[in-house]
Chains A and B, each alone.
Chain A
Amino acid sequence: MTTVAEKLDTRGMNCPLPILKTRKAINRINAGEILEVTATDPGSVKDMASFCEQTGNRLVASNESANGFVFLIEKA
């Protein structure tokens, strides 16, 4: 079971804020730790995958829940 080191709530925020806040949150955690991001911006689904691909961090999960979109990112 993966433990989440930090949670980030970007619900209500629009592009590019979820990505910018994610970047800052990733800077705060250590390599191997998991960041959980919640978002309501529908564009964030593709953007978050693209962000992870370009920055080398691993998108462990990308799901949709009643709360919005939930992403788990493991810092490289």
Chain B
Amino acid sequence: MSGTTENIADNAQLDAWLNSRLDELLPAKLEDIDASKTPSMSIIATKGTLDWAYPPFILASTAAALGWKVDIFFTFYGLLLLKKKLDADVSPLGNPAMPMKMPFGPQWFQDFEWPMPNLLMAGVPGFEKVATGLMKKTFRNKGVATVEELRSLCLEADVNMIACQMTVDVFGFAPDEFIPEVTDYVGATSFLPVARKSDVCLFI
């Protein structure tokens, strides 16, 4: 009887000792584990216009340059970013924060923000092509990489590009429309475990 009471007291003492040791050692240990771990990022790319094509490829290529493991899951309109021939456009219509500035001419002309009535944006044929051309020219003038360039830098750095099988079916794409580097055609079930383990997970 008295032996059991002693055991209980011993155990309580042991627990207390263990707890205090853990408090002491754990922070440094966790820091070690964190420091030796390769950071990872998962991006869900859902948009296929020129302006929205940049964020996933900029973040992915930069993370890869830092030595991170990167996976991008392309779904819905994001799938268009995996096409062999990238022809992403941008539309100022319904995009009220998009500045309409001219990438040429004297500085005062370039600084002027052009008011674009909806009627013009929606009604004039070819308006989107013009807006796309202006944006591409502005980006080139400012030394920003093209989307194609960023995509190939991502591929060179082994960024995993995964396509959503369901969207491929829904939109009726043929696999040969996509770049051969697409690592997999899968569903959400296969992507979620990847996202779960990543340090950074972004929906773009």
Contact = CB atoms under 8 A, between A and B. Distances in A.
B65 A51 contact: yes
A20 interface: yes
B65 A17 contact: no
Interface stretch (B86-94, B97-105, B140-148, B165-173): B140-148
B65 A12 contact: no
Interface string A9-51: 0001111110110110000000000000000110000000001
A14 B62 contact: no
Interface in B14-62: 58, 61-62
Nearest to A51: B66
Chain A: interface size category? 10 to 19
B61 A54 contact: no
B153 interface: yes
B65 A23 contact: yes
Interface string B68-91: 000000000000000000000000
Given A16-B61, A20-B61, A20-B153, A41 B66 contact: no
Interface string A51-69: 1001100000000000000
Interface of B: 58, 61-62, 65-67, 142-145, 153, 157
